[in-house]
Amino acid sequence: ADGKVFYQFPFIPDEWKHDWLMSFIMRDDQVKTSTDGTLYLTNIHQIYENRLEDEDEDLGPVGNLLGAKPKKDGQASWLTSILERIMKHDNLLIINDEAHHVHDEELSWYKSIELLHENLKSKGKAGLSLLFDLTATPKDQNGTFFPWIITDYPLAQAIEDRIVKTPLIVHQTDKSSPDNKHISNAFNAYQEWIQIALNRYREHQEAYGKLGQKPVLFIMCEDTKQADQVAEGISKIAGFNKKDQVLTIHTNKDGSLSTDAKKLEVVREQARLIDEPKSPVKVVVSVLMLREGWDVKNVSIILGLRPFTSKANILPEQSVGRGLRLMRNLGPDYTQIVEIIGTDKFEEFVKELEKEGVGIGVTKNPPKPGRLILPLKTRSEYNFEIPELTPSFTRKMTGLDKFDVKILQQLIELDESDKVRNIKVSLIHGTTEKKVGTKQVTIEDDDFVSSQELLSSLTNKIIREGKFNANFNLIYKIVKSYIKDICFGKTVDLDSLTVRSNIAKANVSDAITIYLSRKLGEFTKVTTEMTMKNYPISLIELEGFYWKRDIAEARRTVFNYTPVYNNLEKDFAIFLENAADINKFAALAETYTKFCITYLNKKGSQSLYYPDFVAEQQLDNGKKINWIIETKGYEDENVPLKDSESENWCKKATEFTEETWKFLKVPDLSFRRIKPKTYKDLLSGLKNIENEKLML
């Protein structure tokens, strides 16, 4: 509760830090009355339950005259409720998480927001300064988007970016949904779907258990009666019949938890701890409409046992949303899947997500988690301890005001032809989507985007691409000065249509963005003294991981299988296995094996480079060399930057460890041409090819 996150991460601009004087109040903190700057991190119940207690308390005739009895607690003179404390402030900003629940006028949270707003107005203020909503589903229950959306990050994009799990329908029965009106026992009526889900859960439990993870099955029922029936039936099945292995969460019609006050905190605590290895909960049964935040990450299967008609007031995003959060410690390169199982009507309902651009796969054959890659204790002689070194540089933004644009060079020629004013547009028929003609359009000055907007857009792109946590105005001035006086080889009028049209071209704006990002990155790069951390990366101590790509089988490595990304890596792994002068080697599976080298990329931002292999070469004279190896097909502009930083890393690692470390890049075509039998052959062949290039 000390707000350290605001100081450890670049949330607050440097020029604002001296004004950032805040107190931080967590949910269970004792609250002292104050009107200083305060951030309250709480949940909605602590606000409106305080309000409801105040509204419902009957003080009686004497109490109404004299007021409530003072609290017996010795701290009562300075402790107040969260709501009372908040109402003493004259300036309030509210940030709502899971905000799609808030804007229901019947909800107590909505009424509490109104109360805070009206309280400020009663003080002569304008009301709330800002109400900031965060939600994965910015829609009302009719599926209509809220009109106050500022920016949208679609679910389809989040899936593509691997921010969330990928939903996949597992269809293993063609049985029709039972008629809800004739269901006397939901566990019996939905027996086939339940058994499919439980069988899938058992497989998940075995697979994820090897990684120290506990999967969770989430079941959605039509009502609380059916939820109880399903939970009771499952809790009698072996493997699910121990205490608290099946958790039932009931909700009221408004989505709030439905239980008595004594059990409420117990249920909340059980739900909060579901992901913990010690939690007994394997199955959660509910009617889905949970208004409280659901932060469970280990849901790997969702079973839908409700018709999901329009009367249900549920969105497709909400139906799968309970299982979308990523499990921890599986690595960013592992595509996590949440399996969707349910009735035909539930499957149809989930497929409506395709309208949002979310591709929903369907399979009868459940997906396999991949091959488990493990370091073997019996192969300890093949272990590597790779030193961990601090980066060779850091970035310092404070000197950007001293950046001299005169060191920059012209980038492009200004296109002054009439093409910037007169363009041809294609006319497309709205129904057939066929081209029906073209039209000449003349762009007028007032119709085109302003120079300020163009420069602002460029500045934001540069900040984003270069990952600069710098003052916008500083970079804006650099961008403006560069384009005005240098970019086009002469001084130009930024407000002229010709210049604006040039800047607006995608190829021009992209070139400017990349060039300035790189130059600003080089300027802010500050060389630092590399040091070695206390503990190396010991491959034999790593956790196991699942690998869905190809593998090579080898003996001279600490891992049971050698994970590879492509045929080149597979062939190279086989070469290392058979090379007589290689004592041992290991494939470095990026984030899974942890070893990486920090470098400054072509955009000027700090990136991590993950080499492909580490190997130990045995020389004829008895000495040994540790090699960091990169196999390479296509080479982009970042490759020389990675190579340079890798060479430097090896130099420093040799100094620190007194072992020899070297870096080698192996181009695909060169490897195929040389066809080496030993590592010595490979080095000799690469040197000959390099000499041939120098002679050309």
DSSP string, 114-178: HHHHHHHHHTTS-S-SEEEE--S--B-TTSPBPTT------HHHHHHTTSSPEEEEE----PPPP
Q: For residue 96, which of 148, 61, 29 has the smallest C-alpha distance?
A: 148
Please, what is the average pLDDT of the chain?
84
Q: Are residues 483 and 536 in the same domain?
A: no
Query: What is the rounded distance in angstroms from the CA atom of residue 504 to the CA atom of residue 407?
Result: 24
CATH assignment of the domain containing 171: 3.40.50.300
**Mean pLDDT, to the nearest integer, of 244-273?**
70
Could you give the number of structural domains in the chain? Answer: 4
Q: Are residues 274 and 350 in the same domain?
A: yes
Tell me whether residue 146 is in a domain: no
Q: Are residues 566 and 615 in the same domain?
A: yes
Please determine, for residue 346, whether its predicted confidence score (pLDDT) is greater than 90.
Answer: no
Q: Which two tokens stand for residue 322?
A: 């309970």
pLDDT over 70, % of the chain:
82
Q: Are residues 439 and 424 in the same domain?
A: yes
- Show which of 101, 133, 165 is a domain's final residue: 133
Q: Are residues 541 and 669 in the same domain?
A: yes
Q: Are residues 403 and 341 in the same domain?
A: no
The answer to whether 569 and 424 are in contact (CB under 8 A) is no
Q: Which bin fits 394, alpha (ψ -120 to 50), beta or left (φ > 0)?
A: beta
Q: Give the pLDDT of residue 214.
A: 92
Q: Give the pLDDT of residue 161.
A: 85
Report for 327-336, 459-468, 619-628: range of highest mean pLDDT:
619-628
Q: Are residues 159 and 218 in the same domain?
A: yes
Tell me whether residue 381 is in a domain: no
Question: Residue type at 26?
Answer: M
**Mean pLDDT, to the nearest integer, of 607-622?**
96
The region of weakest confidence among 3-17, 208-222, 548-562 is 3-17
Please determine, for residue 349, whether its predicted confidence score (pLDDT) is greater than 90.
Answer: no
Please determine, for residue 68, whether its predicted confidence score (pLDDT) is greater than 60.
Answer: no
pLDDT confidence band for 59 (50 / 70 / 90)? very low
Q: Give the pLDDT of residue 424.
A: 55
**Mean pLDDT, to the nearest integer, of 615-641?**
96
Q: For residue 346, which of 313, 305, 318 has the smallest C-alpha distance?
A: 305
Q: Which residue has the higher pLDDT, 121 or 27?
A: 121
Q: Are residues 169 and 295 in the same domain?
A: yes
Q: Residue 385: what are its φ and ψ, rounded to 5°?
A: -115, 105
Q: Are residues 638 and 509 in the same domain?
A: no
pLDDT confidence band for 669 (50 / 70 / 90)? very high
pLDDT over 90, % of the chain:
50
Query: What is the rounded distance in angstroms from the CA atom of residue 362 to the CA atom of residue 365?
Result: 9
Q: Give the pLDDT of residue 79.
A: 43
> Around 596, how many Cα atoms within 13 Å sit in the side-chain half-sphere?
13
Tens-place pLDDT, residues 382-429: 999 999 999 999 888 888 889 999 999 999 999 887 665 555 555 554
Tell me whether residue 141 is in a domain: no
CA distances from residue 119 to 89, 95, 114, 116, 124 in whole angstroms, order as listed: 10, 18, 8, 5, 9
Concatenated DSSP letters for 476-527? HHHHHHHIIIIITSS---TTSHHHHHHHHSHHHHHHHHHHHHHHHHHHHEEE
Question: Residue type at 304?
Answer: G
Please determine, for residue 25, whether its predicted confidence score (pLDDT) is greater than 60.
Answer: yes
The answer to whether 630 and 641 are in contact (CB under 8 A) is no
Please determine, for residue 453, whether its predicted confidence score (pLDDT) is greater than 50.
Answer: yes
The region of weakest confidence among 73-77, 345-349, 611-615 is 73-77
β-pairing verdict for 361-363 and 166-170:
parallel
Q: Give the pLDDT of residue 26.
A: 77
Q: Are residues 561 and 426 in the same domain?
A: no
pLDDT confidence band for 72 (50 / 70 / 90)? very low
Question: Residue type at 24?
Answer: F
Q: Give the pLDDT of residue 67.
A: 45
Please determine, for residue 656, whether its predicted confidence score (pLDDT) is greater than 90.
Answer: yes
**Mean pLDDT, to the nearest integer, of 116-127?**
93
Q: For residue 424, which of 406, 443, 405, 407 has the smallest C-alpha distance?
A: 443
- Show which of 320, 335, 369 is a domain's final residue: 369
Q: Give the pLDDT of residue 435.
A: 60
The answer to whether 219 and 283 are in contact (CB under 8 A) is yes
Tell me whether residue 51 is in a domain: yes
Please determine, for residue 309, whether its predicted confidence score (pLDDT) is greater than 70.
Answer: no
Tell me whether residue 388 is in a domain: no
Q: Are residues 342 and 409 in the same domain?
A: no
**Mean pLDDT, to the nearest integer, of 343-371?**
84
Tell me whether residue 497 is in a domain: yes
Q: Give the pLDDT of residue 62.
A: 42
Q: Are residues 620 and 572 in the same domain?
A: yes
Please determine, for residue 292, whether its predicted confidence score (pLDDT) is greater than 90.
Answer: no
Rounded to the nearest 5 degrees, what angle is found at the Cα of 425, between the Cα atoms of 420 and 427?
Answer: 170
Tens-place pLDDT, residues 168-184: 999 988 888 888 777 89
Please determine, for residue 648, whether its predicted confidence score (pLDDT) is greater than 90.
Answer: yes
The answer to whether 257 and 44 are in contact (CB under 8 A) is no
Tell me whether residue 404 is in a domain: yes
Q: For residue 685, which of 696, 674, 694, 677 has the smallest C-alpha distance?
A: 674
- Show which of 527, 543, 575 is a domain's final residue: 527
Q: Give the pLDDT of residue 95.
A: 92
Residue 40 is inside which H or E element, if any? strand 38-40
**Mean pLDDT, to the nearest integer, of 340-344?**
90
Provide the domain limits for residue 55.
Answer: 5-133
Tell me whether residue 386 is in a domain: no
The answer to whether 656 and 388 are in contact (CB under 8 A) is no
Please determine, for residue 100, whether its predicted confidence score (pLDDT) is greater than 80.
Answer: no
Q: Which bin fits 67, alpha (ψ -120 to 50), beta or left (φ > 0)?
A: left
The region of weakest confidence among 312-316, 448-452, 453-457, 622-626 is 312-316
The answer to whether 287 and 251 are in contact (CB under 8 A) is yes
